[in-house]
Chains A and B, each alone.
Chain A
Amino acid sequence: MSAHAAPSTADLVARWRDEPAPLLPLLHALHDRDGFLSEDALRAVSQALRIPLADLFGTVTFYHHFSREPGGLNKPRICTGNVCCLHGGNELLAALKSQGATAMPCAGRCDEPVPVLRGHEQLVGTSATSLAAKPTPLPAPNPGGCEECIFESIREPGRATLEGYRRTGGYEALSKAVREMTPTQLLALVTESKLAGRGGAGFPTGVKWQAVADAPGQPKSIVCNADEGEPGCFKDRAIMDYDPHALLEGMALAGFATGAPRGFIYLRYEYPETFRILERAIAEAEKAGLLGVNILGGVFNFTIHLRRGAGAYICGEEGSLLNSLEGKHPFPRNKPPFPVTHGFENLPTAVNNVETLASVPPIVRKGAAWYRGLGRNAHAGTKLISLSGDIQHPGNYEVPIGLPLKTLLHDWAGGPQTGRTIQAVTMAGLSGGFLAGDALDCTLDEPSIRGKGSFLGAGGIIVFDDSRDMVAAAHAAMEFFAHESCGKCFPCRIGTQRLTERLNGEAGPSDLAAWTQEVRDIGTVMRATSACGLGMAAPFVTDSLLKFFPEQVDNYVVSKEPNNR
């Protein structure tokens, strides 16, 4: 047998079957080996993990990137997300059709379009000949000269290595916590800092951790939500690629505070390079005694397991994520109970976003008051904003919470391309819909943006200049939600589809009043009755379209004309 012989199915089963959360890594191992998931492979997995074959089959078909056809893994998948379709994504898809290319939703590279997934790599480029693997763009130095929390040292060369991380204070926070603090003190510090969830919902992190610490049941878990599926969001990727140890240290601190001995990173499929970077970082930290048993020579144990999704935006929703990790069909869970008491394997679990966790080490080192002071107008802390679309300098920016939106757009990011004006921006990636006109006079904090009828969420902002057709933009957004709706609940499963059809002319009344009534009624029932945040948020797109761009809607429905050519 040659040293490079592909591992047998039995070997792979043996490698994974007794690990925690084994389904996804085992499926990936087989998918990577064969280039697709064969019937034989699924039968073996079903037997090994005792998952009924029908359930397993259904679950596999849920994920966009598990191929069931031979050769599927090596066929190019082209991003045709909202930003990439402004930058030639559809044209690139057409050019690569002969290679079996298919479309994929936003792959989190909106700052450097167009990403293409092929085999184990993400390539970027705007033409078939210019595709190349490139490192994630490094965040530019803070254009406002503002003090940063997360990006403070990210531009240091070698920061992604343990040695580089330690040069600028890395693992000092963990060492301080383990040696000098009690979990109660750490919980109090995080609560005082007013750090709130950066994954979208903004729940106070200290309160969440306290609930996990107080909940009965062991082993508890820290689950890092690195699914980053929201279109127009690519901030977590920058953190993980350039500062992976900050995330690991943040997770270990969360474990210390809550009494959780294990952590999982649930990373989106579309970031293969990030997977390798995290894998290396975890190995380095384990080797240095910073993860694993008896961390820093003390009694604290904390192990991190890296898991990869397989292409499903809804797996960023925490209940769906936990089901996915557990190898179940990734529908969201009914709440209550919440993950803090009934999370991974029904045990207490803190699910936190990458940015949230990476904020914790600097907070521990510099104090709660320091962190709170980074914000403006009584808002605490900073927020990463992923800015993309029709803007001179797309990229990730760490802003003081409360910074005026226009300062970011015009002073920090150079404004629109010459000769153009900004027509609209999205908020919360796509989930917050559009802001336009006077509503652009807001500050980057939840109260201000909610006051304009939207929300900041995970901090993705996509810019549309005056050359863009906003009905087409709304259509692309709704098509994303329809593609990603899990199909569990009726309002979202049918509503996202019907709204998409109404935005592309496939179906719906041609009378403007009837069209508007249908779109509003669908939106209202989705917002009020959907089972999770996806269905509740999707109608922001249509509502804001009707609010800010009634003439474009009129033009589209009545005269069937494209807008702003």
Chain B
Amino acid sequence: MSATATERELTMTLDGEAVGFRAGETIYQVAQRTKKSIPTLCYDERLEAFGACRLCVVEVDGVKAPVASCTTKATAGMVVRTDSPIIEKYRKTLLELVVSENREVDVSPLRGFASQEFTTLVDRYGARTGRFKGRQSGTSNKTDDNPFILRDYDLCISCYRCVRVCAEQEGDYAITMMNRGFGTQITTEFNGRLKDSACTFCGQCVQTCPTGALADKKALRAADLPGEIAKTRTICPYCGVGCSVDLLTKGDRLIGVQPAMDGPANQGALCIKGQFAFDFVQHDDRLKKPLVRQPDGSFKETEWDEALDLAAAGFRRSLKEHGRRSIYGIASGRAPHEAAYSMQKFIRAGFGTHYIDNCSRA
């Protein structure tokens, strides 16, 4: 017997088919593995299941009311239906209710990684029926002028993914839910600004938000730029953790960064630098030619050959007068990997020292 078969020695019935599972798995996890597409809005596989949206309800034989599959453990012999007409009707009604509490359903994908989840489900269930009209929940915070995170709570559906990711993944506990019921409002301590809270601007709340209520202000600057959004998978160059990121581009413009949820080192997490600090790439002040310091302290623009000759002479002089330990290389965190590699080679092979480091050890 193969190892996986032993691990999955328990069996249950899912939509008429026998499936194996491990003790401890939830119905939702088993269903995911067997490629069922149970809808969810409050679920983020990195977080403890919460059971708020109730879209994941399924029928279990012998249990009167439907159960939330995300919080219910699978048990041996359980007979489950994930998509009966009644269950699908509940899901549609729930989505119609959620549509009714928001300012809008369609939002720019630049808002965040998960920002299209709600729109996609609403369309899958044809829930734009205009039923259940009434007051809207959540009030956008128009006074928080931080440069990174838009707090557009008119679109908030109180799934608490942001609060949970901040606590469970980032460990910052910067945000919370204020009040209760329909008056629930996501906010910080004393209902203040993010910069006065424990927030580190890691952006994880933005990227898990399923409606775009929390949105990436920097990426949104490119909302009106013509062109399709392209995503390119790469590694954040800032530090040694090696977080996987998707760079968002339109044409040849870098417009934003999103964490890779399947990045082995980061699983959707980034820090403020990896998430938001990319403006230098296309900044007007970015140096495009070498500068040579003049005796009066000012800088003079020059050509590469001259600058490199000058630098090489300086290195040689130091090496000769003070020995190899007088040389210490600090590679720029903003340099690409190839450059970082060349730099350490240059220091180690060129001078015979291990005095080489990186500027950001975050």
Which A residues fall within an 8 A CB radius of B?
A: 39, 42, 52-59, 61-62, 312, 314, 329, 334, 336, 482-491, 493-498, 501, 506-508, 518, 521-522, 524-525, 527-531, 536
Q: 1/0 per residue B59-102: CB within 8 Å of A?
A: 00000011010010100000000000000001001100110110
> Which of A485, A489, A497 contacts B135, CB < 8 Å?
A497
Enumerate chain B residues within 8 angstroms of A55, measured Cβ to Cβ.
Answer: 167, 173, 176
Within 206-220 of B, Cβ neighbours of A (below 8 Å) are at: none
With A54-B189, A57-B190, A493-B158 as contacts: A498 and B173 at CB distance below 8 Å: no
Give Cα distance in the complex from A478 to B271, angstroms: 45
Q: Residue on B with the closest CB to A52?
A: B173
Give Cα distance in the complex from A521 to B92, angstroms: 10
Which B residues fall within an 8 A CB radius of A?
A: 41, 49-55, 57, 65-66, 68, 71, 73, 90, 93-94, 97-98, 100-101, 131-135, 137, 157-158, 160, 167, 173-184, 187-191, 197-198
Overall SS of chain A's interface: helix
- Are A484 and B181 within 8 A (Cβ)? yes
Enumerate chain B residues within 8 angstroms of A57, measured Cβ to Cβ.
Answer: 176, 178, 189-191
With A498-B132, A522-B93, A529-B54 as contacts: A487 and B158 at CB distance below 8 Å: yes
Enumerate chain A residues within 8 angstroms of B189, measured Cβ to Cβ.
Answer: 42, 53-54, 56-57
Enumerate chain B residues within 8 angstroms of A314, measured Cβ to Cβ.
Answer: 180
- Are B176 and A58 within 8 A (Cβ)? yes
Q: Residue on B with the closest CB to A56?
A: B189
Enumerate chain B residues within 8 angstroms of A59, measured Cβ to Cβ.
Answer: 176
Give Cα distance in the complex from A246 to B31, angstroms: 51
Enumerate chain A residues within 8 angstroms of B55, measured Cβ to Cβ.
Answer: 490
- Are A58 and B177 within 8 A (Cβ)? yes
Enumerate chain B residues within 8 angstroms of A528, measured Cβ to Cβ.
Answer: 57, 65-66, 90
- Are A482 and B182 within 8 A (Cβ)? yes
- Are B71 and A506 within 8 A (Cβ)? no
A-B contact pairs, 29 of them (CB 8 A): A39-B190, A42-B189, A53-B173, A54-B175, A54-B198, A55-B167, A57-B176, A57-B178, A58-B176, A61-B178, A61-B179, A334-B51, A334-B68, A487-B180, A487-B183, A488-B52, A488-B160, A489-B51, A489-B52, A490-B94, A490-B158, A491-B97, A494-B97, A508-B133, A521-B131, A525-B90, A527-B65, A529-B57, A529-B65
Give Cα distance in the complex from A530 to B158, angstroms: 15
Give Cα distance in the complex from A524 to B174, angstroms: 37
| Interface contacts beyond A61-B180, A491-B94: sample of 13 additional A-B pairs, CB < 8 Å, sorted by A | A39-B190, A57-B191, A334-B71, A491-B97, A493-B182, A494-B132, A497-B134, A497-B135, A501-B134, A501-B135, A508-B134, A518-B131, A536-B65
A-B contact count (CB 8 A): 148
Output the residue of A62, A312, A329, A529 with the most chain B CB within 10 A.
A529
Enumerate chain A residues within 8 angstroms of B54, measured Cβ to Cβ.
Answer: 489-491, 529-531
CB distance from B166 to the nearest CB of A (A): 9
- Are B182 and A485 within 8 A (Cβ)? yes
Enumerate chain B residues within 8 angstroms of A490, measured Cβ to Cβ.
Answer: 41, 52-55, 94, 97-98, 157-158
Give Cα distance in the complex from A493 to B49, angstroms: 19
> Which of B73, B132, B181, B187 contacts A486, CB < 8 Å?
B181
- Are B182 and A496 within 8 A (Cβ)? yes
- Are B90 and A494 within 8 A (Cβ)? no
Enumerate chain A residues within 8 angstroms of B160, measured Cβ to Cβ.
Answer: 488
Give Cα distance in the complex from A501 to B133, angstroms: 9
CB distance from B287 to the nearest CB of A (A): 41
Give Cα distance in the complex from A52 to B197, angstroms: 11
Enumerate chain B residues within 8 angstroms of A484, measured Cβ to Cβ.
Answer: 180-181
Give Cα distance in the complex from A488 to B163, angstroms: 13
Enumerate chain B residues within 8 angstroms of A489, measured Cβ to Cβ.
Answer: 51-54
- Are A495 and B66 within 8 A (Cβ)? no
CB distance from B261 to the nearest CB of A (A): 24
Give Cα distance in the complex from A323 to B41, angstroms: 24
- Are A498 and B100 within 8 A (Cβ)? yes
Give Cα distance in the complex from A475 to B132, angstroms: 17
Enumerate chain A residues within 8 angstroms of B181, measured Cβ to Cβ.
Answer: 482-487, 493, 496-497
CB distance from A464 to the nearest CB of B (A): 26
Enumerate chain B residues within 8 angstroms of A493, measured Cβ to Cβ.
Answer: 137, 158, 181-182, 184
> Which of A312, A485, A501, A524 contacts B93, CB < 8 Å?
A524
Output the residue of A54, A58, A493, A498 with the most chain B CB within 10 A.
A54
Enumerate chain B residues within 8 angstroms of A522, measured Cβ to Cβ.
Answer: 93, 97, 132
Enumerate chain A residues within 8 angstroms of B100, measured Cβ to Cβ.
Answer: 494, 498
Q: Nearest 5 CB-CB pairs, A to B?
A: A58-B176, A52-B173, A485-B181, A507-B134, A487-B184
- Are A54 and B197 within 8 A (Cβ)? yes
Enumerate chain A residues within 8 angstroms of B157, measured Cβ to Cβ.
Answer: 490
CB distance from A413 to the nearest CB of B (A): 34
Output the residue of B97, B131, B183, B191 with the most chain A CB within 10 A.
B97
Enumerate chain A residues within 8 angstroms of B73, measured Cβ to Cβ.
Answer: 336
